[in-house]
């Protein structure tokens, strides 16, 4: 056995950096460019217009209260003002950027999610007459809950779409606030669609979807709107 090194055998080792030795490169599929800030704003405005148009279309084409034309203007305005004020408060939690652009603190978000429904309940009980037809209360309330759920679901779906992966922090709370705002918008629509003026009917039949919308929004926040 010879101790001499056979350097000629090194030539048989392939060059690992030769083009033929490299694995074939796989090109990644092109990714769609992220929308600009102006484009995101445009989409959200269009979604808001679509949501309001859906609510108005429901009153015009599907259902509106029979005595709407004979009601005093202050009664119609009050029925709209209370839920719309709740919607505006809830939506503030969605749109507020805070000091560092990450939104308001979580404690404020929790307050902005719970205060609008409480405002709706207190203001409704204070300004609306007691329920006259107590015997059919739950039949009427459940029927209105079903209608209000539809009026809540469509704006919430639009909102979840335009706020997809938009919330860096507290996405659950902020999307819950979006659900509360959509439920309050639906309650405003129901004030023009439903002819029952009883305070408890309005709270249960029209206002319950504010809480249900908030719970649905919290679920969407974990899956859709989190950045």
3-state secondary structure labels for all residues of 169-203: CCHHHHHHHHHHHHHHHHHHHHHHHCCCCCHHHHH
Specify the pLDDT at position 63.
92
Q: If you average pLDDT over residues 75-104, what whole number do you get? A: 81
Alpha-carbon gap, residue 155 to 149, rounded angstroms:
10
Would 22 be classed as within a structural domain?
no
Would 200 be classed as within a structural domain?
yes
> Is 80 exceeded by the pLDDT of residue 104?
no
Confidence band, pLDDT 50/70/90 cuts, at residue 22? low
Alpha-carbon gap, residue 179 to 55, rounded angstroms:
15
CA distances from 179 to 128, 130, 168, 217 (A): 25, 28, 18, 5
Q: If you average pLDDT over residues 22-36, what whole number do you get? A: 64
pLDDT over 90 for what percent of the chain?
A: 50
> Is 60 exceeded by the pLDDT of residue 123?
yes
In this structure, of 40-49, 119-128, 131-140, the range with the lowest mean pLDDT score is 131-140
> Is 60 exceeded by the pLDDT of residue 187?
yes
Would 38 be classed as within a structural domain?
no
Task: Domain count for the chain, please give it.
Answer: 1
Q: If you average pLDDT over residues 58-76, what whole number do you get? A: 90
pLDDT over 70 for what percent of the chain?
A: 81
Cβ neighbours of residue 59 closer than 8 Å, sequence gap 6 or more:
189, 192, 193
Q: If you average pLDDT over residues 33-45, what whole number do you get? A: 83
Q: Which of 165, 148, 150, 164 is nearest to 203 (CA)?
A: 148
Q: Over the stretch 69-80, which tens digit does the pLDDT of each residue have? A: 888 999 899 999
Token reading at 106? 């979580």
Token pair 């207190």 is at which residue?
A: 122
Q: If you average pLDDT over residues 20-36, what whole number do you get? A: 63
Would 131 be classed as within a structural domain?
yes
Would 175 be classed as within a structural domain?
yes
Would 137 be classed as within a structural domain?
yes
Which residues constitute the domain of residue 162? 73-227
Residues in the chain: 227
Q: If you average pLDDT over residues 9-24, what whole number do you get? A: 64
Q: If you average pLDDT over residues 155-179, what whole number do you get? A: 89
> Is 80 exceeded by the pLDDT of residue 1?
no
Would 5 be classed as within a structural domain?
no
Alpha-carbon gap, residue 164 to 220, rounded angstroms:
9
Specify the pLDDT at position 5.
63
Confidence band, pLDDT 50/70/90 cuts, at residue 27? low
Specify the pLDDT at position 35.
72
Alpha-carbon gap, residue 118 to 90, rounded angstroms:
11
Would 8 be classed as within a structural domain?
no
Whole-prediction pTM: 0.81
**CB 204 within 8 Å of CB 122:** no
* Residue 167, beta-bridge partner list: 226
């Amino acid at each position: 056995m010879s101790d001499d090194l056979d350097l000629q055998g090194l030539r048989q080792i392939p060059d690992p950096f030769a083009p033929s030795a490299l694995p074939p490169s796989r090109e990644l599929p092109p990714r769609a460019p992220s929308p600009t800030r102006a484009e995101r704003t445009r989409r959200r405005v269009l979604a808001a217009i679509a949501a309001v148009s859906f609510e108005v279309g429901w009153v015009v084409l599907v259902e509106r209260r029979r005595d709407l034309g004979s009601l005093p203007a202050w009664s119609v305005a009050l029925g709209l003002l209370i839920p719309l004020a709740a919607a505006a408060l809830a939506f503030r939690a969605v749109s507020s950027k805070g000091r560092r652009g990450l939104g308001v603190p979580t404690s404020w978000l929790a307050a902005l999610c719970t205060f609008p429904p409480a405002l709706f309940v207190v203001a409704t009980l204070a300004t609306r007459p007691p329920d006259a037809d107590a015997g059919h209360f739950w039949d009427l309330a459940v029927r209105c809950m079903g209608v209000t759920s539809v009026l809540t679901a469509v704006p919430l779906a639009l909102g979840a779409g335009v706020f997809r992966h938009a919330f860096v922090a507290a996405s659950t709370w902020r999307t819950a606030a979006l659900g509360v705002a959509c439920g309050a918008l639906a309650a405003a629509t129901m004030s023009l669609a439903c002819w029952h003026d009883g305070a408890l009917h309005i709270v249960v039949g029209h206002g319950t979807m504010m809480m249900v919308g908030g719970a649905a929004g919290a679920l969407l926040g974990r899956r859709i709107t989190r950045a």
